[in-house]
């Protein structure tokens, strides 16, 4: 390894080097956030974790990082920013008023924050994006809470339009009486008032009006101005028609999508909990038709799916499930459940298919499938885990119903007592290469043992041919409590057989003599055979608790995986949490970061966003909403990790008056690595040679070094005596010839 001479770290003018990272044209001022480098990690595996920054909530009980959304660039730095939402957050001496905060995806700087104004308001309970409604070029946001109390009312609920640029409120609409629960449901409608912005349909579950009690209402609101364009009230006591709203295709022929309001708990037509569905014009709110459950406790309308036009009348039809309906002659099967196709034109039944066993709750688990039988109509795959048949208890079934007539195209029954076959369904595409999409059945609570080998909650994954229902392969959890399939992620084809692969996380698995250390298994989608497996290395590590497929971090052409567990114990800490990146092709650990304090619970949420450090992969943001930092309680934290780790940058000896070594591994032998820092913040910055950097002007060049035969290079710099507490950002750039450029991760560091 060839190292450059020692240079001073804090020289404000870069040395005269022929490096294209010296003349910078873009400047981004960023808030310096402290990341302590040089602290002893809980485990050795932490050392290579590509943590770029950590941002902390600034008040106790804010709970930053509970729910994360990557929505838009709010601060204009060309990088997607992060919204943290905690409807149970508490602030300003209130309880569960809710906190919403915008955080720079680039450096973790706090952009804006809004708090609920009343106890138990739960601001952010529903938090979707809307269009740019104020014309500033930045998408705005829409927050609803049915539990909010405002303008002197109790639990009247409200919806609020929020500027994405600064968090200011642009308009607010609220319920006009106690217990309306305005904001119980929400859907984006078409542009009803022709102002080039999709409008908003909001439901109110608890409202009483028109002489009725608890009839509820649905209201269409202009997204631009908050004006009410129409309101439709329920037509009877306890209908609560605002419990759920969904948009469906045009039912009345006016060229606009229409609204389905449904409430399975409604009392309608003199019955109890029979449920109802009401079709409303999306343009005017006029009732197109109403369809009610026909018996007590049917819970008609538990779910509603738009299947398109299946009866040939030119109007979309609807799949409706009432899972608690009694079935059979004289209704002798309580809670058997029923699935129905109803006409979108008038709400009348086209076909019905009921469960055949008491307590089956038919239709609770279902997916809209492709056209299995080639009749031009979509079909439906149904999972019935509570079905008991063939002398077995809760063995479950999976079947495909014809969308055209409701006839079963095939039925596959589980073969294990309490196997709960059909508990979860995934659609992984064509696994067996026959041209038809297939079905993945998952039951993490399945007990698949026998008299000779009793197993409880070991879990079960089975691939079924979409064409025939035949089993292509199955995998059973090996031990009691394995909970195989508790968390499942579909990833890219890693073994080159043309089928997606499956990654199963089992956080409660006991492996290698440990307790609840967890296990992750990569399975071939084509064969079901194990491709790799890895287990947690300590009691309560809970590997596989939360998993997310992310960009290809290791450069093998296959997207990779990040797993977190906020309850993990590691490094003699309790509930510190853990985030780990794995190759989805081999299971190799790419990086790992363990929470640094007891009860930090790092890993409660994961989201991916922009490539902040210019390594070609989206970066990974991990929340820890109960973390205690800066002397605060449950203020929460957000961590940003580089999505790629092909060229890791490490720094040793970063102390005042010492020599600090900046090192890169995995480089190209014979190439030249340039090392630079910024005291201002991260980029992006484009050099005059067209090379994007993750640093901001002014950039100080520390020196260069030739990459040795092992792929390593380094420089040493003298840290000034008075540099304690100084935060900076560092990156290395490998240059070989005019076109070959390889960059390291960007790291934020603080002199100890």
Question: Could you tell me how many residues make up the chain?
Answer: 752
Nearest CA to 4 out of 713, 720, 751 is that of 713
φ/ψ of residue 47, rounded to 5:
-60, -30
Give the number of other CB atoms < 10 A from CB of residue 317. Answer: 26
Give the number of other CB atoms < 10 A from CB of residue 530. Answer: 13
Residue 448's pLDDT is 86
Q: Which residues of the chain have a pLDDT value below 70? A: 1-49, 328-331, 451, 645-646, 688-690, 737-741
Strand 692-695 to 699-706 pairing = unpaired
Retrieve residue 503's tokens.
Answer: 């990654």
- Report the DSSP beta bridge partners of residue 504: 488, 521
- Please name the residue ranges forming H helices in 453-504: none
Nearest CA to 271 out of 245, 303, 244, 237 is that of 237
List, in sequence order, every beta strand (DSSP E) within 302-376.
Answer: 303-308, 317-322, 338-342, 349-354, 365-368
- Could you tell me what percentage of the chain is helix, strand and coil, using 3-state DSSP and rounding each to the nearest 5? 0, 40, 60
Give the number of other CB atoms < 10 A from CB of residue 493. Answer: 16
Retrieve residue 40's tokens.
Answer: 């002893």
Nearest CA to 597 out of 621, 632, 562, 563 is that of 632
Distance of CA 69 to the CA centre of its chain: 8
pLDDT tens sequence across 418-454? 899 999 999 999 999 999 999 999 999 988 877 677 7
Q: Specify the long-range contacts of residues 2-5, CB closer than 8 Å, at least 24 apart.
A: 2/705, 2/706, 2/708, 2/713, 3/703, 3/705, 3/713, 3/714, 3/715, 3/716, 4/702, 4/703, 4/704, 4/705, 4/715, 4/716, 5/703
DSSP run (H or E) holding 52: strand 51-56
- What three-state secondary structure class fits 362? strand
Q: What is the C-alpha to C-alpha distance for residues 344 and 267, in angstroms, rounded to an integer?
A: 22
φ/ψ of residue 44, rounded to 5:
-60, -30
- What three-state secondary structure class fits 671? coil
φ/ψ of residue 604, rounded to 5:
-75, -15
List, in sequence order, every beta strand (DSSP E) within 636-691.
Answer: 637-641, 649-652, 659-664, 672-678, 682-686
Residue 740's pLDDT is 64
Q: What is the dihedral of CA 34, 742, 70, 227, to 10 degrees?
A: 110
End-to-end CA distance of the chain: 27
Q: 360 to each of 9, 330, 402, 731, how far by Cα in Å?
A: 70, 17, 20, 59
Q: What is the C-alpha to C-alpha distance for residues 659 and 79, in angstroms, rounded to an integer?
A: 34
Retrieve residue 61's tokens.
Answer: 């009980």
Nearest CA to 105 out of 53, 152, 61, 157 is that of 53
Nearest CA to 286 out of 243, 263, 308, 256 is that of 256
Cα angle 72-602-626, degrees, rounded to a multiple of 5:
90
Q: What is the C-alpha to C-alpha distance for residues 611 and 550, in angstroms, rounded to an integer?
A: 12
- Report the DSSP beta bridge partners of residue 742: 734
pLDDT tens sequence across 703-724? 889 999 998 999 999 998 888 9
Helix count (H) and strand count (E) of the chain? Answer: 0, 50
Residue 502's pLDDT is 95
Strand 578-582 to 424-429 pairing = unpaired
Q: 415 to each of 395, 401, 482, how far by Cα in Å?
A: 6, 21, 19
Q: Are 478 and 458 in contact (CB under 8 A)?
A: yes
Residue 360's pLDDT is 87
Q: Position of tokens 């409008």?
A: 199
Nearest CA to 604 out of 570, 575, 572 is that of 575
Cα angle 236-241-243, degrees, rounded to a multiple of 5:
140
Give the number of other CB atoms < 10 A from CB of residue 541. Answer: 26
Q: Kindly tell me the burial class for residue 737, based on how many C-beta atoms sit within 10 Å of its own C-beta (0-12, 13-18, 19 or more).
A: exposed
Q: What is the C-alpha to C-alpha distance for residues 682 and 699, in angstroms, rounded to an integer?
A: 10
């Amino acid at each position: 390894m060839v190292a450059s001479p020692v240079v001073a770290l804090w020289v404000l003018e870069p040395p005269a080097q022929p490096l294209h990272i010296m003349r910078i044209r873009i400047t981004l001022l960023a808030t310096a956030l402290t990341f302590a480098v040089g602290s002893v990690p809980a485990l050795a595996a932490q050392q290579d974790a590509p943590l770029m920054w950590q941002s902390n909530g600034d008040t106790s009980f804010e709970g930053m990082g509970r729910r994360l959304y990557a929505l838009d660039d709010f601060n204009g730095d060309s990088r997607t920013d992060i919204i943290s939402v905690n409807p149970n957050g508490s602030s300003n001496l209130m309880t569960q008023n809710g906190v919403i905060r915008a955080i720079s995806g680039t450096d973790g700087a706090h952009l804006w924050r809004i708090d609920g104004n009343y106890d138990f308001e739960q601001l952010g309970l529903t938090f979707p994006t809307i269009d740019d409604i104020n014309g500033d070029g930045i998408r705005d946001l829409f927050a609803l809470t049915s539990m909010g109390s405002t303008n002197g009312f109790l639990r009247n609920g409200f919806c609020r339009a929020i500027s994405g640029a600064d968090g200011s409120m642009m308009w607010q609409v609220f319920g006009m009486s106690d217990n309306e629960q305005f904001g119980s449901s929400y859907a984006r409608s078409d542009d009803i008032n022709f102002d080039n912005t999709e409008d908003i349909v909001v439901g109110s579950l608890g409202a009483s009006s028109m002489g009725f009690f608890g009839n509820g209402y649905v209201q269409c609101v202009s997204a631009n101005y908050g004006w009410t364009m129409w309101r439709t009230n329920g037509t009877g006591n306890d209908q609560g028609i605002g419990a759920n709203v969904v948009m469906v295709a045009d039912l009345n022929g006016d060229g606009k999508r229409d609204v389905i309001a449904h409430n399975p708990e409604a009392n309608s037509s003199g019955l109890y909990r029979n449920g109802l569905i009401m079709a409303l014009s999306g343009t005017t709110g006029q009732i197109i038709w109403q369809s009610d459950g026909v018996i007590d406790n049917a819970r008609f309308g538990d779910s509603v799916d738009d299947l398109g036009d299946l009866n040939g009348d030119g109007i979309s039809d609807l799949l409706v499930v009432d899972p608690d309906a009694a079935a059979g002659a004289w209704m002798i099967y309580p809670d058997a459940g029923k699935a129905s196709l109803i006409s979108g034109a008038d709400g009348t039944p086209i076909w019905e298919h009921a469960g055949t066993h008491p307590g089956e709750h038919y239709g609770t688990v279902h997916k809209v499938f492709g056209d299995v039988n080639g009749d031009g109509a979509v079909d439906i795959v149904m999972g019935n885990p509570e079905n008991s048949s063939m002398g077995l208890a809760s063995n479950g079934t999976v079947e495909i119903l014809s969308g055209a007539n409701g006839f079963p195209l095939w039925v596959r029954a589980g073969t294990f007592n309490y196997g709960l076959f059909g508990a979860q369904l995934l659609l992984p595409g064509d696994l067996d290469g026959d041209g038809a999409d297939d079905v993945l059945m998952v039951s993490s609570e399945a007990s698949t043992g026998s008299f000779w080998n009793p197993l409880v909650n070991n879990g079960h994954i089975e691939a079924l041919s979409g064409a025939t229902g035949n089993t292509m392969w199955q995998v059973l959890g090996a031990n009691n409590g394995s909970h195989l399939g508790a968390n499942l992620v579909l990833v890219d084809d890693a073994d080159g057989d043309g089928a997606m692969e499956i990654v199963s996380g089992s956080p409660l698995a006991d492996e290698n003599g440990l307790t609840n250390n967890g296990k992750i298994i990569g399975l071939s989608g084509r064969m079901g055979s194990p491709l790799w497996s890895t287990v947690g290395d300590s009691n309560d590590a809970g590997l596989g608790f939360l998993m997310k497929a992310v960009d290809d971090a290791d450069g093998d052409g296959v997207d990779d995986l990040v797993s977190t567990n906020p309850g993990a114990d590691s490094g003699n800490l309790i509930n510190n949490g853990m985030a780990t990146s794995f190759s989805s092709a081999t299971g190799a650990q790419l990086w790992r970061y363990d929470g640094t304090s007891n009860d930090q619970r790092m890993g409660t949420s994961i989201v991916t966003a922009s490539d902040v450090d210019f390594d070609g992969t989206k970066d990974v943001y991990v929340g820890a909403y109960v973390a205690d930092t800066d002397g605060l309680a449950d203020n929460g934290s957000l961590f940003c990790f580089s999505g790629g780790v092909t060229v890791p940058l490490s720094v040793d000896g970063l102390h005042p008056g010492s020599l600090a070594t900046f090192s890169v591994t995995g480089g190209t032998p014979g190439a030249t690595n340039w090392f630079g820092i910024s005291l201002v913040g991260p980029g992006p910055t484009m050099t005059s040679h067209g090379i994007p950097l993750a640093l901001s002007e002014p950039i100080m060049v520390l020196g260069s070094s030739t990459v040795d035969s092992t792929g390593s290079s380094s420089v040493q710099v003298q840290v000034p005596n008075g540099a304690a507490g100084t935060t900076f950002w560092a990156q290395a750039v490998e240059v070989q010839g005019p076109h070959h450029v390889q960059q390291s991760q960007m790291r934020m560091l603080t002199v100890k």
